[in-house]
Structure 1
């Protein structure tokens, strides 16, 4: 798994916030811009996965030499941070309701769509996220919504973290189900069919009686993708119901 937050901190912050424009030699305009480099890198990662996104391939897709990229961005670590924050900016979060639950749900389902468009997001650890405009816009939107839910300030912060952790993780799982055949070369149905013998020869219904009973009651009558979607909906509702129960009357 790739990790965000790598590379030179000051240089990454400068690039994230576009605080300075790269200088071109002898007054000539640069062959490519930083925004075009980030967009090209994201397209490569979308199509072929994060491992395929190398500086050489990004340069080739833009029709320039690899060294041209290094006049804009120091390396892959910084480029990955720029890609991640650029993806978060695609959420386009704006408050269109006074209902804090609806605002959180808007973020949640747009994040699912985001991970579906950019399946490489699931391969990036955000324990140390890039401190860019995309991250701050996301967190500011959620904190603004949760601040109207009747929670104490410290609970607002914790709730924001809990929601982001659940939504980002569950969205990654949903995206993986969506792209499972592309990633593995095998459909979901074929994968399970190849393991049908397990249930016939290995599974012990007495030892795993809870699974057996739930199975008999139809608890598993859905595809893996449907199960992931149901888990996302239920988990999000449970979190929001729990926060609502903690809210104090205003």
Structure 2
């Protein structure tokens, strides 16, 4: 797993916020820009995964030498931060309405974002890139939650809880699509090939709750449909819990 926040902090912040770097007016203009490098890195990771997004491969996709990239970005650690924050900037955070409407909109946006960039689940953002994407997301969620009039500490905790749950659920949903694309095998075919497990291995007496859930229709959905239902149910329960803490 990659971890954000591992690069040089000053250089990373300069690049995230596109602070100008003093350059001599002499010489050839650069062949590529930082924005083009980040866009190309996103494209490689979207198509082939984050592990495949090496500096050599990225340079080849841009038609430049690898050393050209290092004149724009120090290394992969800083580039991963730029990629993550660039992805977060794709979120549409212009929704109005009630605080719940806005949080639900954020969740839908996040599902779409992870579907577009499934590699996001492979990056730990415990130490996040401090860029425009992060701040816009945090500002949107806190502004929505301010409508509840929760104390500041609880609103902040609620924002963190929403991010933790929604990001995890959205990443899980994205994995189903990615697994089918990479393997060429549908989720239904994958389970069908393992039907022998239920016929010869599974012991209902040992796992009676699973057996009862099965008999009562608890598993009458595809895995992807079950994950989408879990996201919907979990988000509603989370927002209900937050609402229950709102001062009346």
**TM-score above 0.5:** yes
Partners of 2:220 and 2:168 lie apart in 1 by: 24
Give matches, 1:29-178, under 5 Å: 29-97=29-97, 99-178=98-177
In the other structure, the counterpart of 1:28 is: 28
Deviates more, 1:229-238 or 1:184-193: 184-193
Deviates more, 1:22-31 or 1:148-157: 22-31
Describe the superposition over 1:195-222 as per-residue Cα deviations: whole angstroms up to 9, x where unpaired.
1111111111122111111111111001
Q: Note closer, same or farther for the CA distance 1:181–1:228 as it changes in structure 2 (3 Å cut).
A: same
Partners of 2:92 and 2:231 lie apart in 1 by: 21
In the other structure, the counterpart of 2:18 is: 18
What is the CA RMSD across the aligned residues, in angstroms?
1.2
Matched, 1:243 2:242: yes
Number of residue pairs matched by the alignment: 248
Offset of residue 27 of structure 1: 4.3
Offset of residue 232 of structure 1: 0.4
Offset of residue 30 of structure 1: 1.1
Partners of 1:24 and 1:109 lie apart in 2 by: 46
Contact 2:85 2:134 in 1 (8 A): yes
Contact 2:95 2:105 in 1 (8 A): no
Describe the superposition over 1:145-179 as per-residue Cα deviations: whole angstroms up to 9, x where unpaired.
00111311110000000000000011000000122
Q: Gapped runs of 5+ residues in structure 2?
A: none
In the other structure, the counterpart of 2:5 is: 5
Offset of residue 183 of structure 1: 2.9
* Off by >3 Å, runs of 4+ in structure 1: none
Offset of residue 180 of structure 1: 1.5
Deviates more, 1:190-199 or 1:110-119: 190-199
